[in-house]
Chains A and B, each alone.
Chain A
Amino acid sequence: MDEMVLVPGSTCQGCGAAMAARLTFKVLGPNLIRHGIPCCPDHVSKHPRAGSVFEAGGSSLTGTSRALKALGRTDIKAVAFYGDGGTYDIGFQALSAAAERNENILVITKDNEAYMNTGGQRSGGTPKYAETTTNPVGPKSRGKGEPKKNIPMIFAAHYVPYIATASVAFPEDLMQKVKYAKDIEGFRMILIQAPCPVGWRFDPAKTIELARAGVQAGVWPLYEIEHGTSFKLNYKPKELKPVSEYLKPQSRFRHMTEAEVNEVQGNVTTNWARLLKADEMKTVVL
Chain B
Amino acid sequence: MSYEVMVGNKATAVGCKLARVKVAAVFPITPQTTITEYLSEIHASGDLPNFEFINAEGELSSQVIAQAAEATGARSFTCTSGPGLLYMHHPMQETASKRLPLVMAVVHRGVKSMQPDHSDLMSQQWQGWLHLYVENAQEILDTTIMAYKIAEDKRIRLPVAMGYDGYVLSYTAEPVEIPAQEDVDKFLPPYKPMPGIFPVSDKDDKWRDFEANPKTFGAGWGEGDPMKPWQMHNEAALNGETVIKEVFAEWGKKFGRTYGNGMIEQYRVEGADCVITAMGTIAGTAMAAIDKLWADGKKVGLVKIRSFLPFPRSDFQAIAKNVKAIGVFDRSCQPGMWGPVYHQMRSTLYDEAKKTPVIGFIGGLSGKEVRVADMYKIGEKTLKVAQGGKPEAPIQWV
State yes or no: do A and B come from one complex. Answer: yes
Report the separation of the CA atoms of residues A55 and B90 in the bound assembly, to the nearest whole angstrom: 10
Which residue, of A55, A58, A67, A72, has the highest number of chain B Cβ atoms within 10 A? Answer: A67
Q: A48-73 interface mask toward B, CB cutoff 8 Å, 1 = contact, 0 = none? A: 11111101101111111011111110
Contact check, B215 vs A48: say whether CB atoms are below 8 A apart: yes
In the complex, whether A33 has a CB less than 8 A from a CB of chain B is: yes
User: Which of A51, A59, A61 meets B60, CB within 8 Å?
Assistant: A59
In the complex, whether A285 has a CB less than 8 A from a CB of chain B is: no
The 9 closest A-B CB pairs, nearest first, are A63-B68, A97-B57, A67-B72, A67-B74, A67-B69, A59-B64, A59-B61, A56-B64, A63-B69
Contact check, B214 vs A48: say whether CB atoms are below 8 A apart: yes
| Interface positions of B (Cβ within 8 A of A) | 22-23, 25, 50-52, 54-58, 60-62, 64-74, 76, 90-91, 94, 214-219
Report the separation of the CA atoms of residues A36 and B62 in the bound assembly, to the nearest whole angstrom: 18
Contact check, A53 vs B68: say whether CB atoms are below 8 A apart: no
Contact check, B22 vs A67: say whether CB atoms are below 8 A apart: yes
Could you jot down 10 A-B contacts, CB within 8 Å?
A49-B216, A51-B219, A52-B64, A53-B90, A63-B70, A64-B72, A67-B76, A70-B74, A71-B73, A100-B57
- Min Cβ gap A258→B in Å is 45
**B-chain residues with CB within 8 Å of residue A93 when the two chains form the complex:** 57-58, 61
**A-chain residues with CB within 8 Å of residue B66 when the two chains form the complex:** 63
Contact check, B72 vs A56: say whether CB atoms are below 8 A apart: no
**B-chain residues with CB within 8 Å of residue A63 when the two chains form the complex:** 23, 25, 64-72, 76
Write the chain B residue with the least CB distance to A76.
B72
| Interface positions of A (Cβ within 8 A of B) | 33, 35-36, 43, 48-53, 55-56, 58-64, 66-72, 93-94, 96-97, 100-101
Contact check, A67 vs B68: say whether CB atoms are below 8 A apart: yes
Which residue, of B64, B68, B73, has the highest number of chain A Cβ atoms within 10 A? Answer: B68
**B-chain residues with CB within 8 Å of residue A66 when the two chains form the complex:** 23, 25, 52, 54, 65, 69, 74
Which residue, of B23, B65, B66, B76, has the highest number of chain A Cβ atoms within 10 A? Answer: B65
User: Which of B56, B60, B73, B219 meets A55, CB within 8 Å?
Assistant: B60
Contact check, B69 vs A101: say whether CB atoms are below 8 A apart: no
- Min Cβ gap A98→B in Å is 9
**B-chain residues with CB within 8 Å of residue A68 when the two chains form the complex:** 72
A48-B214, A59-B68 given; A71·B90 CB < 8 A: no
- Min Cβ gap A134→B in Å is 23
Write the chain B residue with the least CB distance to A43.
B219
Report the separation of the CA atoms of residues A35 and B72 in the bound assembly, to the nearest whole angstrom: 12
A68-B72, A93-B57 given; A52·B67 CB < 8 A: yes
Which residue, of A33, A35, A66, has the highest number of chain B Cβ atoms within 10 A? Answer: A66
Contact check, A50 vs B61: say whether CB atoms are below 8 A apart: no
- Min Cβ gap B40→A in Å is 14
Report the separation of the CA atoms of residues A59 and B60 in the bound assembly, to the nearest whole angstrom: 9
